[in-house]
Every structure is written in C-alpha cells, then in structure tokens.
Amino acid sequence: MITKENIIKRFVSYVTIDTESDPTSETTPSTKKQWDLANKLAEELKTIGMQEVSIDANAYIMATLPSNVDYDVPTIGFISHFDTSPDFTGAHVNPQIIENYDGQDIVLNADENIVLSPDYFDDLLLYKGQTLITTDGNTLLGADDKAGICEIVSAMEYLVNHPEIKHGKIRIGFTPDEEIGRGAHKFDVEKFGADWAYTMDGSQIGELEYENFNAASAVVKVKGKIVHPGYAKGKMINSMYIAQEFINSLPRMETPEHTEGYQGFFHLHTMKGDVEETVLEYIIRDHDKGHFEARKEVMQKLTNELNSQYGREVITTEIKDQYYNMKEKVEPVMHIVDIAEKAMRQLEIQPLIKAIRGGTDGSQLSYMGLPCPNIFAGGHNFHGRYEYVPVESMIKATEVICKIAELTALEK
C-alpha cells in the first residue's frame, strides 16, 4: 500500500536537501549541492530494487524496472528534476505538516506575519480535510519537482513489491538544472531507450498537458554617454531614459500579469542600469508559432526604430530560442496522452487537459525524439514562500504512474 506516512517521510528527506540551481554557472549541474540529492537518489533506487542504476558525470540519473510479462510491450519512461528554482532560496527548508486542513488561514511565520490564505490562494479550498505540506515562510518548498521524484520512486517501489501488477520495461530519469532551462540539454535519449515518457512536473491534481509555450530569451543592451551633469547639455545620453522608451513601446497589456490561457506575453524580469549602460532581460512566450515569431520581430523592429531615432546604434537586442511547443511532436502519438487520461479516470481523477503556461523538460525531450507529455505532481505556488503540496495528491500521482504502467501492458 502507498501510505501517507511513507510519502511524507520520503518527500521531506528530499526537500530538506538544498538543490537550488544557478543560471550564471557554466557547469552541469550548475551547483555542486545538487550532487547531494543526486547521489542519495542513485543509492535509494538500488535499495528499492531498481536495475541498471546509473549516474553520469553531469548528475543525470537513469534506472530500469524490468518487464514482468512475456510479450512485447513498449518501453515507457517517467522523468522529474531534482533542482529547485533560483527565484527564491531553497536553503534550510523546514516543511510544516498541516493535518486535516480546515479551510482557514495557515500562519507560516507568526513573527513576520506570513500567512498562506485561501482568500488569496483559493485553490487551497480544494483540499479541505487533507494533509498539506507547506513552508515555514522563509524558503520555497521544493515540490517543484521533488514531489515528482517522490512519486516516481514510490511508484517503482510499489511495483517492485507487487509483481502481480503486470507491466513492461519502465525507465526512469532524474535531471539537474531544469529550472534554468537546461534539464534536457545533456539528457541521453538514446541511452534512456524509451518509446515515450511522462514528466511528473505539473501542479493541480488531474493536470495532463501536451502543449506548452514556444519560448525565447532576449537581452537588450542600451548604450549611453556619461558626461558631468553640470556640462551635459547636448552631450549626455542617459541609457536609462532610452531603456524606458523601449519598455513603454511594448504592448503594456501583453505581460504575465495581464494574460492567461493561450495568450502570450513579453516579460521583463531583470533590469540593471546607470547613465552609461542599461541592460534589460526579457522572456518571450507564445503557444502559437506564428505569434511567437511576430513577438521576436516586434522587439527587433523596436530596436531598429530607436537606433534610427538617435542616429546611431544605442540599442542591441540578442534573442535566443529556448524551447518549442511539444504539441507538434505529441499529436502524432496521441495514444500516449489517451493512456494517461484513461489511467486518471480509472482512479476517479478528473483529467484537466490544458496548455502549460511555461515549459518542462518534456518540451525539449519531445523535440529530441522522446514524446513526453506532462502529468500533475500536486504542488501549488511554485518558486516562493507560499508553495504547498497536498499529500493526497502525491499519493494519487503515484497511483497514476502505476496505472499507466499497467494499462500500457494491457493495451499492448
């Protein structure tokens, strides 16, 4: 039986290990501390009875649960990442266990008046009566994506201990640096050897996703000219004012806080500047490939117009594609989504099939030859102090993994 106590114990043992990734690092993994959990996971997989456990020089972990049927079944995979976001500290995570949640405010930190409230986070009300794991208000939790890892390991342990459940060969993979967009960069798809896989990296119970944003990053550098302000007339060029022109010329309502569903956006996430130079860092997102390309053209056209206006190159814009919408690669093999949906329905989970307003390792892996839809892991409010996960959702996600394995073998 997949017990609440075992899920909590395993999950807490993962989130209390700091694995924050670092976008400024050029190594893989980007931080040495990711090895602490990676090595623990490799040993744990051996302990629970997994075969062909490997951890490579970049901390990518793979393992096999051999088939227990005597006929051909597709090899499937389950994948999660063990790093946590650099958006908020993951050091000294101190999980709080809230039994039988009553639907009221949860005080995370009384001294600093940090409260997790359903008045603001109304999804909390979906989980009245359940057991929640929260932060203490000082860190993120790490359910993104240590909940996914917990569920995969727990499912494999359950299948090892219950050979009466028929399944084909199952491969699992754990990756570093997903939160900084590099989780799939050094993933060896050929070595993994699965026909398809699922990332356990979604949020609310029931989520099943095979569409995601097309994504790019943009670095806008604005050059100014510093002159003593007392003698600056006709000479000084203040890069911050030009940067402000650039910002204000983009569609104001096409930002994350004003968009939803399939709507794309421009997101200014970092700005640093002085008179001499200002640097703006954007991300560009859109589900529609044509609209995505148009957004990149808007930024480049604006750059050209401002350079023309000032009569010299005051702005340079460097745009780099990051990942693409996996829908193109998954739709030809939609049976892999159908199996996951059927598994949820058999477990009395209402599937929530929707587009991801973000990306996962699966989006990149799909373009690398491994079709890879995304399934809920249960957590909410990722990347911050208000993150939480219902234990019951983690149990259900574990059951979904087992059921997908069973249905794949039955529907051979």
Active site residues: 83, 178
Nearest-angstrom CA–CA distance, 112 and 96: 16
Q: Residues 28, 29, 31, CA angle at the centre, nearest 5°? A: 125
Find all residues with CB under 8 Å of 138, minimum gap 6, and list them: 89, 92, 94, 109, 385
Going by C-alpha positions, the residue among 209, 202, 215 that lies closest to residue 327 is: 209
- Displacement of CA 361 from its chain's centroid (Å): 7
For CA atoms 203, 215, 332, 355, the dihedral sign is positive
Residue 85 exposed, middle or buried by CB count within 10 Å (0-12, 13-18, 19+)? buried
Crossing angle of the two packed helices 391-410 and 335-346, in degrees rounded to 10: 120
Run of H or E including 144: helix 143-161
Cβ proximity of 94 and 135 under 8 Å? yes
Question: DSSP alpha helices (H): ranges in 33-109?
Answer: 34-47
Cβ proximity of 364 and 323 under 8 Å? yes
Going by C-alpha positions, the residue among 172, 136, 133, 141 that lies closest to residue 49 is: 172
Look up residue 124 and give its DSSP letter.
G
Q: Residues 305, 311, 313, CA angle at the centre, nearest 5°? A: 70
